[in-house]
Structure 1
Amino acid sequence: MSEQRVLADAYGRVATDLRVSLTDRCNLRCSYCMPAEGLDWLPHPEVLTDDEVVRLITVGVRSLGVRDVRFTGGEPLIRRGLVDIVRRTRELDPGLELSVTTNGLGLERMAGALAEAGLDRVNLSLDTLDPKQFATITRRDRLDDVLRGAKAAHEAGLTPVKVNAVLLRGVNDAEACGLLAWAVAHEYQLRFIEQMPLDAQHDWHREQMVTAEEIFERLSREFSLSPASEPRGSAPAELFLVNGGPAVVGVIASVTRPFCGDCDRVRITADGQVRNCLFAREESDLRAALRGGASDDEIAQRWVAAMATKLPGHGINDPTFLQPDRPMSAIGG
């Protein structure tokens, strides 16, 4: 058995939450993420195989203290081996928390199989309930598919279904209250996320971002919001009871109220690179080690070394901040 280590950085933070990107490809073209024509996808040989993905997760769980695994993309539901990867990950430890972040396309068809394989819950990205607005933002007319997917996930027991929404100034920012009313009615947990500088076009501008303060002000016009009693801990969302509860809403203020000091996350890209921060400009290659015959212990050592270089914060509010070369779709949330 390999030596037990932790994924610690120089500031005392320990990563136990692993985000695994299964593909950089996506079947939507959200305007704040990528251009209408899409991107140059990773060549297939560069993408980790199912066995390689499971092997890295195994090292993380058995040797490095990982307790939460979230599968991301791109869009992870288009990865053919997703259900089997979930099943094999669940077999590592029944106590793991397993989730998927998805745009919901295909979720109606796959929710039952994912639940049976051992998935605990889903995070669903949805920014609007208006079909025309959805088509404008995503450049695809697929809102009904997403809504059916959310319903199927809820019925399959992949709960709580968490819905992630980004408000865009002058586009869907007037829908905040409508989104929350819908989420409460369907027993989903809504999370509003400040737009971050992770678009492929590098077109993010601070003044266009709808801030957490603005989101809270808008919601307070129609709802009574009070801080949830439980501490946030390392979770990115500040939670508020809606009209006294039990429903809650979250606000993730990555830009205006960064929570880097409590971060417990680490990411593996679809091509096997360790990213110790969502905004990191450097990566550490584990794919080469995998394909070069390295042992699990050697891979663990490389991973530990990669985490040791993590910076104290993402630096968005620093005048010298530079957006990472990879867009969000190629990093994995």
Structure 2
Amino acid sequence: MTQKNTTIAPRTNGLVDLFARSISYLRLSLTDRCNLRCLYCVTEEESDGVLTKLTHNELLSYEELLRVVRVAVAMGITKVRLTGGEPLVRRNVMRFIRELTGIEGLDDVRITTNGVLLERYGRELYEAGVTKVNISLDSLKPERVAAITGVNCFDAVWRGIETVLTLGFAPVKLNMVAMRHINDDEIVDFARLSRRLPVQVRFIEFMPIGESSRWNADTYISTDEIMARIAALGELIPLEKGRNDGPARVFRLGADSVGTLGFISPLSHHFCNRCNRLRLTSAGALRSCLLHDDEVDLRTVLRNGSGDEAVREALLAAIRNKPEGHHLEERLRRSGGDCHGRMSRIGG
């Protein structure tokens, strides 16, 4: 079908939601597919069987993703993060990334990955202009990584970390989801990494996301407890946040540490009042809050012959729908409910 007029308004001074938050950050989930089966991502039923994947037609094409980003950048989005699933498993991903980083006005493209393919793709990413990376790593013990992810992949991930550090990626962030009785005995070991490596080790509270989530109150461990354990190693020196920094509160473990520590506390110290992001799922749904299931169907807009003005209106609708806060604590107390979207489709 022939598209209607695709002109879009000139870039504005920015996007502001109903609660005066500036929206400048779009997270793109490229695929729901992954080469791991992490216990906090797949359901208990899926971990024992075949994962239900989106069909090729259900995924947004690279052309559709690029169209959305061009419209979003013209509206004031300046930062894009690529997520999955595992974004690097999608076919021809580097061709897409090179086109993405060439979009005028897009200042900052980052990637979140499980690190398994970083040794292979690190140099191409760096040369394409993607030099900021978040790597998921929930244990420093190879056998435990295999238990958490379902794959014996620690060595591959560590080689990926070494690759990006050698290439000069910065920042390099290591994301640890802290889970009591699973990996919380390694919190201090992770913190020590920041003393000798130029990385930001980030401790993320375990969130109740996904159907049949393995989250429960016994597994959850708060940031306050995590910080108390680390404080036994030395002083936690708070650092000022940069303009494009995310929700983490960042510290240095003593003045001599090469790296830093970040703490992300969506439950105990939620950061809703400064959230600046939208998410586009791999199935083409716009979400304005990770922990709310309200979505705007952008895939239909992209495929019904509408012009870019309709894409713009869908983005504005998602911003208008952005809640003041996730209120997850109250929802958990009332019904034990959680966010029912699957993390691999929403985007990590």
TM class by smaller structure: over 0.9
Please tell me the root mean square deviation across aligned C-alpha atoms, in Å. Answer: 1.8
Contact kept in structure 2, 1:234 and 1:264, CA below 8 Å: no
Structure 2: which 5+ runs fail to align?
A: 1-6
Q: Which residue of 1 aligns with 2:122?
A: 111
Query: Aligned in 2, Cα 1:314/1:293: closer, same or farther, shift over 3 Å?
Result: same
Q: Which residue of 1 aligns with 2:220?
A: 209
CA-CA distance at 1:7 after TM superposition: 4.0
Query: Aligned in 2, Cα 1:25/1:44: closer, same or farther, shift over 3 Å?
Result: same
Q: Which residue of 1 aligns with 2:232?
A: 221
**What TM-score results when the alignment is normalised by the length of structure 2?**
0.90
Q: Which residue of 2 aligns with 1:12?
A: 20
Structure 2 SS opposite 1:226: strand
Cα deviation 1:204-241 (Å, max 9, x = unaligned): 11332111011101111123212114478862101111
Of residues 281, 293, 296 in structure 1, which corresponds to 2:293?
A: 281
User: C-alpha distance in 2, partners of 1:247/1:107?
Assistant: 20
Contact kept in structure 1, 2:191 and 2:201, CA below 8 Å: yes
Mean CA deviation greater in 53-62 or 180-189: 180-189
Q: Which residue of 1 aligns with 2:41?
A: 33
User: C-alpha distance in 1, partners of 2:280/2:50?
Assistant: 22
**What TM-score results when the alignment is normalised by the length of structure 1?**
0.94
Deviating beyond 6 angstroms after TM superposition, the runs of 4 or more aligned structure 1 residues are: 231-234
Structure 2 SS opposite 1:44: coil
Written as runs of structure 1 = structure 2, the 5 A alignment for 1:56-75 is 56-62=68-74, 64-75=75-86
User: C-alpha distance in 2, partners of 1:198/1:86?
Assistant: 28
Of residues 233, 246, 252 in structure 2, which corresponds to 1:235?
A: 246
User: C-alpha distance in 1, partners of 2:321/2:15?
Assistant: 11
Structure 1 SS opposite 2:178: coil
Contact kept in structure 1, 2:77 and 2:106, CA below 8 Å: no
> Match of 1:259, as an amino acid?
F
Matched, 1:2 2:8: yes
Contact kept in structure 1, 2:253 and 2:261, CA below 8 Å: yes
Structure 1 SS opposite 2:278: strand
Written as runs of structure 1 = structure 2, the 5 A alignment for 1:157-172 is 157-172=168-183
CA-CA distance at 1:95 after TM superposition: 5.5
Contact kept in structure 2, 1:237 and 1:251, CA below 8 Å: yes
Mean CA deviation greater in 32-41 or 305-314: 32-41
Q: Which residue of 2 aligns with 1:303?
A: 315
Contact kept in structure 2, 1:239 and 1:249, CA below 8 Å: yes
Contact kept in structure 2, 1:83 and 1:114, CA below 8 Å: yes
Structure 1: which 5+ runs fail to align?
A: none
Identical-residue share of aligned pairs (%): 36
CA-CA distance at 1:253 after TM superposition: 0.7
Cα deviation 1:146-183 (Å, max 9, x = unaligned): 00011111222222211100111112101111112224
Q: Which residue of 2 aligns with 1:193?
A: 204
Q: Which residue of 1 aligns with 2:3?
A: none
Q: Which residue of 2 aligns with 1:293?
A: 305
CA-CA distance at 1:103 after TM superposition: 0.3
Contact kept in structure 1, 2:194 and 2:260, CA below 8 Å: no
Q: Which residue of 2 aligns with 1:127?
A: 138
Q: Which residue of 1 aligns with 2:4?
A: none
How many aligned residue pairs are there?
332
